[in-house]
Structure 1
Amino acid sequence: MIPEPPEPPRPEDAQADLAAVLPRITQLSAAISKGRLPERAAEAAGLSLDRPALGVLLEVCRAEKPLRVGEIAERMQVVGPHVTRQVQNLERRRLVHRVADPEDRRASLIEPTPAGADAATRYVTSVLGWFAEAIADWPRQDRDDLARLLTRLADDVTTRLARLGEEEGE
């Protein structure tokens, strides 16, 4: 006799499972903010940038090609004028520069300078070092599970929120 396939999980079950996890997400966010991890990592990297400017620099460096200001804003889920101000700040510091958009000569694209790419690498190395120390004594399987599950959660939440935005006409 072939056993019946298990029932698919119900949203109520997932909600109950997450009820115990949500306070931990809040705890982690608060610990990172209270512990000033972004600021400490920026100091360790020798950067005197605030969080918004650092976020734009990291997004530009993460991209595999130069980006329009609107693309940066979309990736960061912020408004364009916010990004424009940060790009101007980063340009003054010679961490990013503008290049002509080959598809539209009236527009410009933003890309990191070598100094900007180096600064972003130093920052990310500092942040990763801090987290690596925090989980250094975890078994390899736990570290792999953490990476896999956080990636899945971030992707699923991002997809679901994007779908809601599309349904609402955003």
Structure 2
Amino acid sequence: MLQEKVNIVMEALQHVKDPEIDSISIIDLGMVEKVEVNGDAVSIELLPTFMGCPALDIIRQNVVEAIAELKCFKEIHVQFIYYPPWTSDRVSDEGRLRLKEFGIAPPPKQMTETGEWHVDCPYCGSTYTTIENIFGPTSCRSILYCKSCKNPFEAMKPVSTMM
């Protein structure tokens, strides 16, 4: 029964989308760290993708609303935690596909020791890309340019704990 409720919560969270990238869920972004059910109460721990992300309050509210719609919990607690830190390798394969379909190059699955990262164009798949601006429209994205298909695009910045 307990695991069944956790599964129901996880399914509901699969429908909570990132407010800035509405094709990807917080599950596929790897933001859900822990779901704990205790009777008619549920506690959800989320990892922010970037410190200072302006969408955190919206995400929290969307999570509360999604869980409230289940009508099986009297108490809903949603908390952002900072340990372990979110890293871009938490993005699921489905999430990487959704980012690409949205026109955002997904972060690499693993970082190199030097911190360098290579980005393929999400439109044509070319490796002939350049970073135009490390600072994109949000703190988690950069602006790049594909020299093959001549399209500008965004890439999700890689985040790693390798230091």
**Is the shorter-chain TM-score for this pair beyond 0.5, marking a shared fold?**
no
Report the TM-score range of the alignment, normalised by the length of the smaller protein: under 0.3
Q: State the TM-score, normalizing by the size of structure 2.
A: 0.28
Q: State the TM-score, normalizing by the size of structure 1.
A: 0.27
Higher radius of gyration, 1 or 2: 1
Q: More helix by proportion, 1 or 2?
A: 1
Q: More strand by proportion, 1 or 2?
A: 2
